[in-house]
Amino acid sequence: MVKTLVSLKTVLKRRGWLALPIVTSAMGAALLYLLVTPPTYRASSQIIVNDKDTSVSDLGQGLTKIGTNAPGIADPIATQSELIRSQSVLKKALFAFKDGPEDLPSTKGLRKAVDVEILPATNILRVTVEHQDPELTARLANEIANATVSENIAAIQQEAKVVREFLEVKIPQQKLRLREAEDAEGRYRQISGIVALESQTQQLVNRQAGLETERSQILSQLESTVTENQQLQALTETPAPEAAYNDVRVGQNQELQTLEQEITALNVTMADEATRLGEQHPDWLALLEKRQSLEGLYQAKLESLSTSADPRSADAPLSQDLLGQYINSNIRQQSLASQLSVIDSELADISVQLLDLPIQQQPLASLIRAREQAAKTLESMQSKLSEATLAEAQLVSNVRIIGEAEIPKNPVAPKPAVVLLLALISGAALSVALAAVLEGLDSTLRTPEEVESELKLPVIGMLPKLSHRYDAHRLNLFLAIPEQVEPYRALLKALSAQQYSLGNGKTLSNGNGNAVVPKIATHGQTIVVTSPFIQDSKSSVALHLAATAAMLSKKTLLIDADFWASSKDSLLQSLDYPGLTAALEDPTQLSSIAQATDVGNLFVLPHKYPVNLPGAVVESQAMQSLIAAASSQYDVVIIDTAPSTKFTDASTLSRYSDGLLLVLRSGVSQHEASASTALELRRGGTHILGVALDNVSSGTRRMSRNFDSEHLHLIEYSNAAVSADESRNRHLEKIS
């Protein structure tokens, strides 16, 4: 997070020059806006929606009442707020200004100037109007409120009228439907015989229960009568009631009774005569003949009266009474059996009727429901027709004005403080955005953090932007400015710390995870300097680094080994020759060939331009011998090589040195080229001591911090390296 803030601060400071013109332009535009924009006034009126029931009819109250806002149903308050801004309401409000002022807005313009706000947790709407004329603003707000109420009344009346006209058409149709339903129900009742279903069902159930009770009683009586008949039949020895009836009828015949009396009297006479005269006496025989004649007559009469095969006569009262009881009992038995049969038949009919009633009830229930629904609908429609007539005649509304607009005294826009503040903020935001865009489009490396992130190498030196371009003859001017020299001095300490750590057996990584132990000079420190491109200021860094080392009383040799560059790119072009070419021919004459400069202890070894077969020269044994000789004769040897993007000279020469210093120029070196150069050098086994970032501003050097652990490790050994250099110098003085 801290690193991000530091980077943001660095970017803003680097691109800060953009803020002044942008913010100035924004403030100027704001001032111009304040000068040319007329003041705007604001007035508000308040309307309450559905505050109470105002209609005498239920339909009128329903038309004026705002329903609850159920899910999926439009909010009526929000709907009313949109209706206020509708074209019809605004036109009606503008119509009130028949001879209005010239600046009266159009309907479209008024719609833009009107704002409707729903006050939280209330049914109150605030109608706000903005205009340049304060009096007209207040009048417009009030007229819009009045037009809203008027429009609402008209809408309610129109709805009531539509309902009334609809009901006037539908009520006759509904009466016809009711009549048809009643006729259908009557026909079905007539066909089915159902008048009152519940009462009829109850009557059938009660009748069934009564018949069941009566049947039980008759059945009991029948059983008793059958028993009585059986006993009387056995007592009278009469096979059937008809025979008993015949016996009784015969016994009750007067002629038969007379004949029986005559026969009885004759029998008595015959008995007396037989006793007195004997049975052979003619008189007794005459009596016998007479008796036979009477018996024959009696038998003939009996046969004529009786229908049975064995006619008998029950002339005794007891017999007649028993036979009468037997006959009555049989008659009663037959009557009870007949009653039982009738009851069973009626019970069966009732059961069938009870089973048929539910079946007959279903269509009847449907017909009843249809008739009741038709009657209920007709009643409701007639009631609604009356209510609609009342609602249409009433001037009712579900909105009411509760606050009229007053003439505003102070304008609401433009507000100078707000406009200027917004201009300042927008200018600053635009500056930051433009800086971010430019930073995003910038593909160059600028800070040590960016270098370490892209190249995975420590930045061991941050070198300042020089005020002049110094060549070999003006180095004293460079050394006279401490602010320019101190960063190079710190870079030398970092390089000495690197050599010191290697001399104490420490191994360093080449950047790709492999341990590298480069060649350690037995006397001087040999450093190869390169950069991705020629414009990355490798030659300038090599020259000023050599001058700084010489200033520190170190015998320093600067070798110009960039054979691919033109003479105009070299800072040593004004020096005399022979130089490097002659030294390659005879490395033993290096000390006499190297040219002294105006800076004490600084020697340079330039070369002629152009050089034939530069690659062969770099790869030659003579070059290796020359570097070895220079390392043995000088305290510090700095080799300026060709750019590493196109040439491999630096990788070759670094094998003969203590390591390679990669130079990048802040704001010039490209991300991809620099990363590619570092990667290729690591792949070639080159030991890279670190990166020197040139052309760094003083602000960047103060804010930047190196977070690479290896770099911190090198700084830790810087004091020890300086102490080692001082000890070596004292030892050389003793030898000399």
- Cα–chain-centroid distance for residue 279? 144
Q: Where in the chain is the domain with CATH 3.40.50.300?
A: 448-503+518-566+577-735
pLDDT surpassing 80 at residue 712: no
- State residue 236's pLDDT score: 62
Q: What DSSP string describes 688-713?
A: EEEEEEEEE-HHHHHH-----HHHHH
CA distances (Å), origin 21, targets 18, 72, 424, 439, 522: 6, 54, 12, 18, 59
- Segment 425-438 shows an average pLDDT of 82
**Range of lowest pLDDT (116-120, 126-130, 610-614):** 610-614
Give residue for tokens 């400069």.
Answer: 597
For 258-281, what is each residue's pLDDT tens digit?
777 778 888 888 888 788 877 788
- State residue 128's pLDDT score: 95
For 633-660, what is each residue's pLDDT tens digit?
999 999 999 898 888 888 889 888 888 9
Domain covering 39-67+74-231+360-413 in this structure, CATH number: 3.30.1890
More confident residue, 154 or 714: 154
**Range of lowest pLDDT (9-18, 95-104, 311-320, 560-569):** 311-320
Tokens of 719: 């004091």
pLDDT category, 408, cuts 50, 70, 90? Answer: very high
| Residues contacting 493, CB < 8 A, separation 6+ | 718, 721, 722
- State residue 715's pLDDT score: 40
The 10 Å CB-count burial string (b at 16+, else e) for 335-372 is ebeebbeebeeebeebeebeeebeebbeebeebbebbe
Say if CB 498 and CB 624 are below 8 A apart. Answer: no
pLDDT category, 89, cuts 50, 70, 90? Answer: very high
For 472-483, what is each residue's pLDDT tens digit?
677 888 888 888
Choose among 320, 321, 324, 343: nearest CA to 222. 343
Tokens of 707: 């977070």
- Segment 326-332 shows an average pLDDT of 75
Q: Where in the chain is the domain with CATH 3.30.1890?
A: 39-67+74-231+360-413
Domain covering 448-503+518-566+577-735 in this structure, CATH number: 3.40.50.300
pTM: 0.47
- Segment 501-509 shows an average pLDDT of 47
**Range of lowest pLDDT (83-87, 201-205, 616-620):** 201-205
